[in-house]
Amino acid sequence: CKTGASGRMPDDYDVPAFHPYASEDPSISWNFWVEHYADPAQQARDPKRRPRGVLYPRAATLGGCTAHNAMILIYPDDQDWTATVFREALERGRDQELEFRARAADGREVWLNSKVYITLDASGRPKKLRGLMTDNTERRIITDTQFRQARQAALAAAVAVTLNEGGTLRGILQR
pLDDT band at residue 30 under the 50/70/90 scheme: confident
Q: Residues of the chain with pLDDT > 70: what percent? A: 69
Q: Could you give the angle at the alpha carbon of 51 between the alpha carbons of 45 and 54, nearest 5°?
A: 65
| Average pLDDT, integer, range 57-68 | 60
Q: Which of 65, 73, 76, 92 has the alpha carbon at shortest distance from 17?
A: 73
Model confidence over 75-86: pLDDT tens digits?
A: 666 767 777 777
Residue 124 CA to residue 93 CA, distance in Å, equals 7
Average pLDDT over the chain reads 75
pLDDT band at residue 141 under the 50/70/90 scheme: confident
Q: Is the pLDDT of residue 72 over 60?
A: no
Q: Which of 63, 112, 62, 118 has the alpha carbon at shortest distance from 92?
A: 118
Q: What are phi and psi of 55, to 5 degrees?
A: -80, 130
Cα-trace Rg, the chain: 24
Instruction: Supply the pLDDT for residue 1.
Output: 45
Q: What is the pTM of this model?
A: 0.45
**SS3 letters for 4-41?**
CCCCCCCHHHHCHHHHHHHHHCCCCEEEEEECCCCCHH
Beta carbons of 110 and 103 less than 8 angstroms apart: yes
Q: Is the pLDDT of residue 65 over 60?
A: no
The better pLDDT of the pair 164, 106 is held by 164
Instruction: Supply the pLDDT for residue 93.
Output: 83
> Which residues on neighbouring strands pair with residue 98, listed in sequence order?
114
